C-alpha cells in the first residue's frame, strides 16, 4: 500500500509542478465558462425575443365588428398576433404582403359574414414555404373552420325553433341567433377531451427555461476540461515506459496491479480536486446553484472522475508516445463533450443524434448536474446517471488492465 501512495504522490507532484497545470485545470475552464455563458445568454435572449407571426386583416371600415372579431380570434389562438387595417388605408392589400409588413394578409370582401354562402371569398396572401407562413395558414384555416361550424350549427338550431315556434320579428330572431352562438362558443371552449403530450425520454435542458446561461456553460466546461485534465497523468505513464522507469519498478516488489492502481488514483484525486474547485467557483462566481444538493453533486463528481481516470488510464497504457496521448485525449475531449451536450443542449439536435448521444458518459454527467441545478430535483435524480458512469468506469478500467497486462514493454 505504501508503494501505491508513493507513486500517487510522485504523479500528483509531477503533474502540478508544471506551470501550465493551473492554467489548463482551473483558469481556462473559468474563462470558457464566462465566455460560453455570454454566448448562451445571447441565444436565450434571442429565443425569448422571437415574436409570433403577424397577420394583417384588411376590410371595409363599416365592417369593423367582423375585423375586430377576427383580430381577437387570431390572438386568442396563441399562435398569431393580428393587426386590423381598412381598405381606405390599403386599397390594395397585397402591398402589405409584398412589403413584408406581415407574414400573411387576409383581405375580406365587403360585408363579409361567416354565415353568407353567396359572398365573394376572402383572399389570403401567405408564403406557404416558410415556417411562419405555414403557421399562419394553419391557424387561419382552423379559426375559419371553427367559426363556420359554430355559425352554421347555431343558425340551424334557431331555424328549427323558428319552424316550431316562429319568432315575432327579425330582431327577435337575430337576438336568439346571437344568444345561441355565444353559448355554442362557450361550449366549444370546454373541450370534452384534452390531450397531454410528454416526451418518453430523459428530459434535457432548454435554454429558454434555465434561470441563468451559466447553468449551461458551467457544467459544460466542467465536463470538457475534466476530460482534458487526464492528459498530464497519462503522459507520465507513457514517459515511464519510454524511460524504462516502469521496467525498473517491476523489478521491485511493486506489482503491475499496484502500478496501474496508483496511476489511476493519482488521476482520480487530481480530477476530483479540479471538479470541486470548479463547482465552488461556479456557485460563488457565476451563481450556479450547485450547493442546493451537495451530496448529489459530490456523487456525480466522484462517478465522473472514476470514468475519466479510467479513460485516462486506458489512453496511458495504449499510447506509444506523448504525441499519441495528446491526440487521443483531444479526440476524447471533443467527442464526449460534443455528444454530452456541453456546448449545446441535446434537445436541439436531430432525433438520431439525440438517441445516441444521451447515453454517452458526458451526457450522463451533464444530466446528473443539471437535474440539480436546472430541474431542481433531489438526490435520487442522480442515481441513474451515476450508475451509468460507474458502469462506463468499470468497462474502461477493465480494458486498461487487460492491455497493461499484455504489454511486455
pLDDT in tens, 26-46: 777 788 778 777 766 654 444
Claim to verify: residue 228 and residue 174 sit in the same structural domain: no
Q: Assess whether 81 and 225 both reside in one domain.
A: no
What cell does 233 get?
Answer: 497523468
- Residue 287 within any structural domain of the chain: yes
Q: Which residues of 180-209 are buried (b: 16+ CB within 10 A; e: fewer)?
A: bbeebeeeeeeeeeeeeeeeeeeebbebee
Residue with cell 362557450: 186
Look at the alpha carbons of 127, 132, 134, 140 in this order and tell me if their dihedral is positive or negative: negative
Pairing, β 104-107 against β 123-126: antiparallel
Q: Which of 398, 206, 400, 388 is nearest to 300 (CA)?
A: 388
Residues 221, 146, single domain; the answer is no
The Cα 42–Cα 8 span in angstroms is 44
Phi, psi at 176, each rounded to 5°: -65, -40
Looking at residue 236, what is its pLDDT? Answer: 73
Q: Is residue 400 assigned to a domain? A: yes
* Neighbour count for residue 44 (Cβ, 10 Å): 18
Locate 106 and state its grid cell. 387576409
Residues of the chain with pLDDT under 70: 1-8, 10-12, 14-16, 18-24, 39-51, 63-64, 100, 114-119, 181, 184-211, 232-233, 245-255, 407-409
Domain assignment of residue 384, yes or no:
yes
**Which pLDDT score, from 0 to 100, does residue 204 have?**
47
> In terms of domains, do 336 and 300 share one?
yes
pLDDT at 141: 85
Tell me how far apart the alpha carbons of residues 303 and 308 are, in angstroms, rounded to a whole number. 9
Are 62 and 173 found together in one domain? yes
Distance (Å, whole) CA 41 – CA 51:
18
- Return the bridge partners of 84, or none: 57
Is the overall model pTM greater than 0.75, yes or no? no
Helix segments in 50-129, DSSP class H: 64-76, 94-98
CATH of residue 69's domain is 3.40.190
Over residues 80-122, the pLDDT tens digits come to: 888 888 888 888 877 777 776 788 888 888 877 766 556 677 8
Say how far apart CA 122 and CA 130 lie, in whole Å. Answer: 21
pLDDT at 163: 78
Contact by Cβ (8 Å): 368, 390: no
Helices (H), 319-382: 322-339, 351-357, 361-373
Q: What is the pLDDT of residue 197?
A: 45
Q: Is 275 in the same domain as 393?
A: yes
Residues 317, 217: one domain? yes
Cell of 32: 470558457
Collapse the DSSP code of 392 into the 3-class scheme (helix H, G, I; strand E, B; otherwise coil) and give the result: helix
In 113-266, the DSSP E strands lie at 123-126
pLDDT score recorded for residue 387: 94
Alpha helices in 17-118 (DSSP H): 21-22, 28-49, 64-76, 94-98
3-state secondary structure of 264: helix
Which distant-in-sequence residues (6+ apart) come within 8 Å of 115 by Cβ?
A: 151, 152, 155
Cell matching residue 177: 341567433
Together in a domain, 252 and 386: yes
In this structure, are 58 and 32 located in the same domain? no
Q: Do 398 and 261 fall into the same domain?
A: yes
| 194 located within any domain | no
Q: For residue 227, give its domain range.
A: 2-46+210-406
Residue 319: CB atoms within 10 Å: 20
Task: Give the rounded distance of the alpha carbon of 67 from its chain centre.
Answer: 40
Position 199 in a domain = no
- Residue 139 CA to chain centroid, in angstroms? 27
Total tally of structural domains belonging to the chain: 2
In a domain, 137, yes or no: yes
Is residue 306 a part of any domain in this protein? yes
Q: Do 181 and 110 fall within a single domain? A: yes
66 shares its domain with 40: no
Q: For residue 125, is it within any domain?
A: yes
Amino acid at each position: 500500500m505504501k508503494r501505491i501512495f508513493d507513486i500517487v504522490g510522485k504523479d500528483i507532484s509531477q503533474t502540478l509542478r508544471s506551470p501550465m497545470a493551473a492554467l489548463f485545470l482551473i483558469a481556462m475552464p473559468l474563462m470558457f465558462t464566462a465566455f460560453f455563458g455570454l454566448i448562451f445568454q445571447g441565444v436565450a435572449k434571442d429565443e425569448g425575443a422571437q415574436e409570433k407571426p403577424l397577420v394583417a386583416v384588411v376590410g371595409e371600415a363599416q365592417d369593423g365588428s367582423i375585423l375586430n372579431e377576427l383580430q381577437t380570434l387570431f390572438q386568442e389562438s396563441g399562435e398569431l398576433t393580428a393587426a386590423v387595417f381598412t381598405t381606405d388605408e390599403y386599397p390594395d392589400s397585397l402591398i402589405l404582403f409584398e412589403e413584408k409588413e406581415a407574414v400573411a394578409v387576409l383581405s375580406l370582401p365587403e360585408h363579409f359574414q361567416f354565415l353568407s354562402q353567396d359572398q365573394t371569398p376572402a383572399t389570403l396572401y401567405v408564403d406557404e414555404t416558410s415556417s411562419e407562413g405555414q403557421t399562419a395558414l394553419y391557424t387561419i384555416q382552423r379559426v375559419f373552420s371553427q367559426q363556420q361550424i359554430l355559425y352554421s350549427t347555431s343558425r340551424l338550431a334557431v331555424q328549427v325553433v323558428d319552424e316550431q315556434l316562429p319568432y315575432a320579428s327579425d330582431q327577435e330572431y337575430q337576438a336568439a341567433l346571437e344568444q345561441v352562438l355565444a353559448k355554442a362558443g362557450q361550449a366549444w371552449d370546454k373541450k370534452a377531451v384534452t390531450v397531454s403530450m410528454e416526451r418518453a425520454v430523459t428530459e434535457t435542458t432548454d435554454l429558454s427555461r434555465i434561470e441563468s446561461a451559466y447553468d449551461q456553460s458551467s457544467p459544460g466546461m466542467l465536463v470538457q476540461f475534466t476530460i482534458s485534465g487526464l492528459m498530464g497523468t497519462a503522459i507520465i505513464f507513457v514517459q515511464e515506459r519510454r524511460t524504462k522507469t516502469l521496467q525498473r519498478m517491476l523489478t521491485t516488489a511493486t506489482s503491475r496491479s499496484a502500478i496501474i492502481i496508483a496511476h489511476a488514483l493519482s488521476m482520480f484525486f487530481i480530477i476530483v480536486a479540479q471538479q470541486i474547485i470548479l463547482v465552488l467557483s461556479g456557485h460563488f462566481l457565476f451563481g450556479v446553484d450547485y450547493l442546493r444538493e451537495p451530496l448529489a453533486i459530490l456523487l456525480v463528481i466522484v462517478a465522473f472522475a472514476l470514468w475519466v481516470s479510467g479513460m485516462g488510464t486506458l489512453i496511458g497504457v495504449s499510447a506509444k508516445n506523448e504525441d499519441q496521448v495528446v491526440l487521443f485525449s483531444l479526440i476524447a475531449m471533443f467527442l464526449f463533450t460534443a455528444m454530452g451536450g456541453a456546448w449545446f443542449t441535446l434537445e436541439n439536435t436531430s432525433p438520431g443524434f439525440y438517441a445516441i448521444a444521451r447515453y454517452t458518459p458526458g451526457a450522463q454527467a451533464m444530466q446528473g448536474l443539471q437535474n440539480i441545478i436546472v430541474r431542481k430535483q433531489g438526490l435520487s435524480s442522480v442515481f441513474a446517471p451515476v450508475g451509468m458512469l460507474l458502469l462506463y468506469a468499470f468497462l474502461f478500467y477493465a480494458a486498461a488492465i487487460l492491455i497493461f497486462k499484455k504489454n511486455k514493454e
